[in-house]
Amino acid sequence: MNNYDNKIKKLEDEIKNLDERVTKLENKPKSEVDSSLEMNVAKNLKNLKTPNLVIICLKIESNQTFDKMKKTLKKWE
């Protein structure tokens, strides 16, 4: 059981970290977020995991179809 507890704790910490980062981004002016977000994505594309890329994709354009998001993620591969 302890191994599962550790994994759950790690996932909770990662979710908390992502939530804090998204909150910081939401509080920045849109022009500043767009440019810094795009630059960070470009610099770290190979290091980012799919869940993070999905969040970034939705942050860039929140109202998009699943197919459009899949196309964007494929471009980023």
Two structure tokens written together for 34: 């767009």
Q: What per-residue confidence (pLDDT) applies to 13?
A: 94
Is the CA virtual torsion 39, 23, 54, 52 positive or negative?
A: positive
pTM, full prediction: 0.46
Give pLDDT tens digits for 12-64: 999 999 999 888 877 776 666 556 766 777 787 888 888 888 888 888 888 88
CB 73 within 8 A of CB 50: yes
The 8-class DSSP code of residue 46 comes to G
